[in-house]
Amino acid sequence: MLHYILRRLLRMIPTLIVISIMSFTIIQLPPGDFFDSLQAQLAESESKADQEAFDALREQYHLDQPIWKQYLHWVGGCLQGDFGYSFEWRRPVSELIGERLGLTFLLSFGALIFMWCIAIPIGVYSACHRLSLGDYILTFIAFIGLCIPGFVIALIAMYVSVFWLGGSAGGLFSYEYQYAPWSLARVWDLLKHLWIPVVVIGAAGTATMMRLMRTSMLDVLDEPYITTARAKGLAERWVVYKYAVRVAINPMISVLGMQIPQLVSGSIIVAIVLGLPTTGPLFYRALETQDMYLAGTFLMLLAIMLLLGNLMADILLAWADPRIHLD
Amino acid sequence: MTKTKEALYTAGQWRLAWIKFRRNKVALAAGVILALLYLTTLFCGFIAPYETDHRFAQRPFVPPQAIHLFSDQGFHWSPFVYGLKTVREPVTGRQLYEQDRTRIYPIRFFVRGDLHKFIGLSTRLHLFGIEAPPAEGIFLFGTDQQGRDLFSRTLYGGGVSLTIGLVGVFISVLLGAFLGVASGYFGGWFDELVQRTIEMLRAFPQIPLWMALSAAIPPDIDQLTTYFMITLILSFLGWTSLARIVRGKVLSLRNAEFILAAQLMGASHGRVIFRHLISGVMGEVIVIATIAVPTMILAESSLSFLNLGIRPPMTSWGVLLQEGRSLTTLYFHPWLLIPALFIVITVLCFNFLGDGFRDAADPYSE
């Protein structure tokens, strides 16, 4: 097992190199750079835009050099934990992303737990009561959930929260706790705000997982060993939960590793609409202002998370399903 | 054996699929709704009472107008709308509208209105409208902040939103099917190259990659180019999953006897690929393509919503929804969310249609 993981990690190295090159290239695609847009802004506001000062800035951040040199410089820094400097925020990228990563993961984990808690029982119910009224209704709701764009769900959730429940309009903290140090009260405040984004981010995933669990469960329920269990006179509940669900859940486990990275990237649009202090809006803003190191690092980080998620999925599946051998 | 049974046993693959598909009423209904939506879009200039940029300067944020058949004078043979009069809300000074029951505007068909292009020729003919002073109009879905008719804009926006999915999928299918078949059929270094490329592209999460690529579209290029660039960006990732599935299918077909027979009879690579392999994977490709369309429609609307996709003055459903982004809009002008309903209906129909196609294409399904 350890051998296998090591081999997979080694094979990731060339992939990582290509990913870093691609991230950097994509971020470089827009014409001009951050200082061009800054210069244009300054010229508009009639303050003196000193060409020499900008040239000096470009030189300081190596923007005057050919692209491959800029790339090598950036990658060299990345290997030492220095992901570059955000022009807009005037702070290191690692710091900016780091302070928002915690809440991003918290939200994604929340959405993950929400998805599993809702999708698995409903999937099992749907499969056990196949083609019943309940099954039809749940399937239909899942279908609808898949068809509403995430940002529309976010808008509706915001509306419900503000005008029906008297809550806040997005964000993760109330005004008085926004910049307060961590305390029990602040945690409670966070939890009060957390459920809206968690439900919104988890909505589409829940629908997909529900369908997956239902299909998988239907396959398993047809297996001869289930018939055997029933023939032996086991209670139906026992047959379903002890025999069927334990096997039917394998496909869910195999997607589990990918779900966190998928949730992180899937939540970007929702986070922008709800104004959450997570990494998504930071990335969006960085794309708009051509804050290239910030955007590039985030893109690369997501790709790395997907890679690791893939590996984790394989390991988890091998752990859950004794029929699978990795070596 | 009866005649019908005999017909069933001798029917070709496509005919069987059609017979099976026809029995799926939900998929059939979805297909009809989609056909109607696309037809409306095709004739949007004619069906919409106004052009997208027609502003009713004194009519911002009109709520959707009701169509009446009964007035104070009793029953009317032709449906009509009332004229509007503006009132101020006493506290906030917000402009509100009330029906002016003294002014009745019957809905007329085939009226003359804004100039628009219709299959290459310019015409002023519109399907319906009202004969009224220029300040008045018929607003089935209400108007936006600038007093533009949301119904007309939704129809025009549909032209972009609905076609971007189709064009994007078409490009993905061309790329995906071709590369998938070729890499499955030839194998070797070509297969290796295609597979590695797919792996690299799929190493990136979809939404952030789409966002980053769209952000690279220069803001000063013309509308049509933007449209095609967005389509290209969407298909840039879309073809990979298709190529994978097609390749797997071709790998299993490659060693089938009928392929070997064709090769032994001296068929060229091209003939084997186009005559036998492509037709063998066609069913699968259609199913995947149908299910890929809604993903692209959703992606386009999300990107446009974030101002990264289609940009005004061009409209799409995502662009229209951008105006309903703030809480105040949601509260005071909820009708600005009507385009979202169209997105949901379209995506829902494509999913049902895809389900129907999948069952029909599967020779083992009941």
Residue-level pLDDT, tens digit, chain A, 327 residues: 788 888 888 888 888 888 888 888 888 887 777 777 777 777 666 655 567 777 777 777 777 777 788 888 888 878 887 777 787 777 888 888 888 888 888 889 899 999 999 999 999 998 888 888 888 888 888 888 888 888 888 888 888 877 777 666 666 777 667 767 777 777 777 777 788 888 888 887 888 888 889 888 988 888 898 999 989 988 888 888 888 888 888 888 878 878 888 888 888 888 888 888 888 888 888 888 888 888 888 888 888 888 888 888 888 888 877 777 766
Please name the amino acid found at residue A73: H
List chain B residues with CB under 8 Å of A163: 331
CA distance A147 to chain B (A): 5
Q: Is A59 exposed, middle or buried (0-12, 13-18, 19+ CB in 10 A)?
A: exposed
Task: Tell me the C-alpha to C-alpha distance, in Å, between residue B127 and each of B46, B108, B116.
Answer: 6, 8, 12
Among B200, B306, B331, beta carbon nearest to A272: B306
Top pLDDT among B13 and B269 is at B269
In chain A, which residue's Cα lies nearest the Cα of B203?
Answer: A303
Specify the higher pLDDT residue, A54 or B42.
B42
Phi-psi region of A102 (alpha: psi -120 to 50; beta: other; left: phi over 0): alpha
- pLDDT attached to residue A289: 81
Across the interface, of A149, A264, A303, the residue whose CB is closest to B204 is A303
282-321 in chain B: CB under 8 A from chain A:
294, 298, 301-302, 305-306, 308, 321
Average pLDDT over every residue of B145-157: 87
Give the pLDDT band (50/70/90) at residue B33: very high
Interface of A with B in 135-174 (CB under 8 A): 143-144, 146-152, 155, 158-159, 162-163, 169
Residue type, A66: P
Q: Mean per-residue pLDDT for B18-30?
A: 83
Contact: A152, B340; criterion CB under 8 Å: yes
Q: What's the average model confidence in pLDDT over B195-199?
A: 86
* Between A161 and B173, the higher pLDDT residue: B173
A22-32: buried (b, 16+ CB within 10 Å) or exposed (e) per residue?
bbbebbbebee
* Nearest in space to A241 (alpha carbons), one of A256, A257, A229: A229
Average pLDDT in the B30-43 region?
A: 90
Q: Omega before B313 cis (within 30°)? A: yes
Chain B positions touching A268 (Cβ under 8 A) are 207-208, 211
Mutation target for A interface from B192, B204, B301, B308: give the one with most A CBs within 10 A. B204
Of the pLDDT bands very low, low, confident and very high (cuts 50, 70, 90), residue B365 is low
The DSSP bridge partners found for residue B86 are B97
* 8 Å CB contact of B347 and A30: no
- Smallest CA-to-CA distance from A149 within B305, B236, B239, B293 is with B305
- Judge contact between B323 and B333, C-beta under 8 A: no
pLDDT at A286: 87
How far is residue A120's CA from residue B63's CA, in Å, rounded to a whole number?
A: 42
pLDDT digit string, tens, across residues B46-90 = 888 888 888 887 888 888 888 888 877 778 778 888 878 788 877
Task: Name residues 172-201 of chain B within 8 A of A (Cβ).
Answer: 199-200
Q: Are strands A91-92 and B68-71 parallel, antiparallel or unpaired?
A: unpaired
Q: Given an 8 Å threshold on Cβ–Cβ distance, is B351 in contact with A147?
A: yes
Cβ contact (<8 Å) for A299 and B208?
A: yes
A267 touches chain B (CB under 8 A): no
Residue from A242, A252, A223 nearest A120 by CA: A252
Cβ-Cβ contacts under 8 Å, A155 against chain B: 324-325, 330, 337
Higher-confidence position of B301 and B325: B301
- pLDDT class of B127 with cuts at 50, 70, 90: confident
> Is B35 a residue whose pLDDT tops 90?
yes
Q: Give the closest of A143, A158, A302 to B205, CB-based.
A: A302
Is pLDDT above 70 for B131? yes
If you average pLDDT over residues B149-156, what whole number do you get?
89
Tens digits of residue pLDDT in B222-255:
888 888 888 998 888 888 888 888 888 888 887 7
- Shortest Cα–Cα distance, A280 to chain B (Å): 9
CA–CA min distance B49, chain A (Å): 27
Report the relative pairing of strands B121-130 and B74-88 from DSSP bridges: unpaired
ipTM here: 0.84
Q: Which residue from B212, B216, B351 is facing A299, i.e. has the nearest CB?
A: B212
- B128: enclosing H helix or E strand: strand B121-130
Contact yes or no for A210/A144 (Cβ under 8 A): no
Contact call for A283 and B208, based on CB within 8 A = yes
Model confidence band, residue B37 (pLDDT cutoffs 50, 70, 90)? very high
Chain B partners within 8 Å of A22 (Cβ): 200, 204
Q: Which of residues 209-248 of B touch A (CB under 8 A)?
A: 209, 211-213, 215-216, 218
In the structure encoding, which two tokens stand for residue B169, read together?
């999928």
Calpha distance A278→A171 (Å, rounded)? 10
**Shortest CB distance from B305 goes to which of A144, A151, A302?**
A151
Where does residue B74 fall: left (phi above 0), alpha (psi -120 to 50 degrees), or beta otherwise?
left
**Does the beta-carbon distance from B215 to A287 stay under 8 Å?**
yes
